[in-house]
Structure 1
Amino acid sequence: MSHDHHHHHHHDDVANIKVAFFLNLAFTLIEIVGGVLTNSVAILSDAVHDLGDSLSLGLSWWFGNKAKAQPTPRFSYGPKRLSLLAALINALVLITGSVLVLSEAIPRLWAPQMPHAQGMIWLAILGIAANGAAVFRLKGAKTQNAKVVSLHLLEDVLGWVMVLAVAIALLFVDWPILDPLLSVCYMLFILYNVIKNLWNTLLIFLQATPDDLDLKVIEEELRQVNGVADIHQLHAWSFDGESHVLTAHVVADRQLSPDNYAALKVALAEICQRHPISHTTFEIEYVDESCRMAHRHEHSH
């Protein structure tokens, strides 16, 4: 039951990412031209960010579709982690773009050039509308991929609100430095967020225990199950930040009849259902049996 529900979300996320991709791409092209015409580095900085977003949306859409594919002998869990790869590539593109814009904006702090304020205002209004529509499409996104994309688009909206504020100010005061100043602040903000997301993506790649699973609590609950003498080799990791995997060796306190064995498995599964775990593997052992993993561990020493 929960599987269908989850699949439906994924499908919606991918469809919404597709719409957001085309909206963003069309708008990025308008922006690059607009940034050059209005002589505004703040708008160019937004254009680079939007270009990064368009690429990330395109990758997310493509990988999102691929990630729905069935498992194969080569990828036995299915290509679930492709969305992580999209998040990784996207982060690297945004870092590169941010550095390029900073190299253009920082020198302008010392020699500011007056941008065309009215042109900036029209572009900013268009920017808020286009990115706002894309954010609205991705509201309530479930996958790590769609969440990252949704965050970028929300930043874009905020970026355009700031461009609008600066453009309106420039109509009344002759402070051309506001434009590169906004650009530099915006880019540093983007870099901070991208690096934070990049770290979270790398943690998933490194198979860190997911933040929303507390292994101590889970182990304690598993130990409470009737017939369990010990739990060891308890591991948890995540496919994509959303689908989590848990494995453990469960030591039974006595020889189990088929009925007891089935009851034990049901009890373990019920505990796992209380936590956000989508895939479990338990190896049942007996007290007097030597654990294969412990044995191997001793050999390796």
Structure 2
Amino acid sequence: MRITSPLLLVLVFFVLSTSQPQKSSTAIIRNFSGKIDKYPIEMTITHFVGTDSIDGSYYYTKKGRDNSIHLKGTFNNNTLTLTEVNYTVKNEKLITNITGYFSLEMNENWELAGVWTNAKADKKLSSVLTCQEKKKAYNPLKNKYRFLQYTIDKSTVTYPGWKIDKIKGLDILNEKGVLIQSIRGFDEYVYDRTAEAVLEDLNFDGVLDLKIQTYLPDQTKGDISYLYFLYHPGQKKYIRNAELEELGVLDFDAKNKHVLKNYADGSGNESTHTYKWLDNKLYLVKKERNFENDNATHYEEYKIINKKPVMVKSYKSTGQ
């Protein structure tokens, strides 16, 4: 089971005139399929637009997503310089271990080619990867994203002492500065005065969609969520998606085209619900659950029948 937390995506690109700086950020998440030498891998890279900072992970297809290796590095002049690391605990301290490096060139179609090197730098293997998102279909990186952001009187809320900001809209401008879409209909808190827009393919059609991180200050657990918008090629605009928002914080598995929702109660009871898209609708296809004081993982598999998920298989495994 894979319980993850979304990365906080921080990039200042627009400043509003207030007594303290408000910030907005944007990031693009791209997925790549390819190989290191003869070994198939899947890679996900988050680029913090306007900076050289990148973050991400990759995994060997044979080992699966649960064995992902963390990546961090820079993106300059179409060159990705990445360090791969894993983490171990020793004497109650978290130890970072460097296990290898990538040096990859990105071409105009977002394809990557270069070299993987081991930690000792005595072994080099070629690496070639294809981007699953299609730049030619739609390239939102040319646009600018401007939030309608304001600060509320903190005396009206009981939340922490920092300035409390909310967003009530997003304007999208093209590369010439012409307004191409105004998104309204929400009024949400943002964390640490930073409004965040993330470009990611949410329905696996090869086109980058949009999600906006929001803050839930009255919750001590699970205090972030997202607004989700799917890009409609025909209308050439983002359309808000209620199904995704009802599920909250999600993980998008581009390789298997699955949407994953993780649950945890803090007492050892955890589950992952897996959904797939069919005719622009989300359907449950699998549940994976672990319970406190139970070594087994419990599974339920579903088949979509008459546009409804129907359980067709139930089993458990101890992983032995």
Q: Calculate the TM-score normalised by the size of structure 1.
A: 0.20
Higher relative contact order, chain-length normalized (CA < 8 Å, sep 6+)? 1
More strand as a share of residues: 2
Q: Specify the structure having the higher radius of gyration (Cα).
A: 1
More helix as a share of residues: 1
Q: Calculate the TM-score normalised by the size of structure 2.
A: 0.20
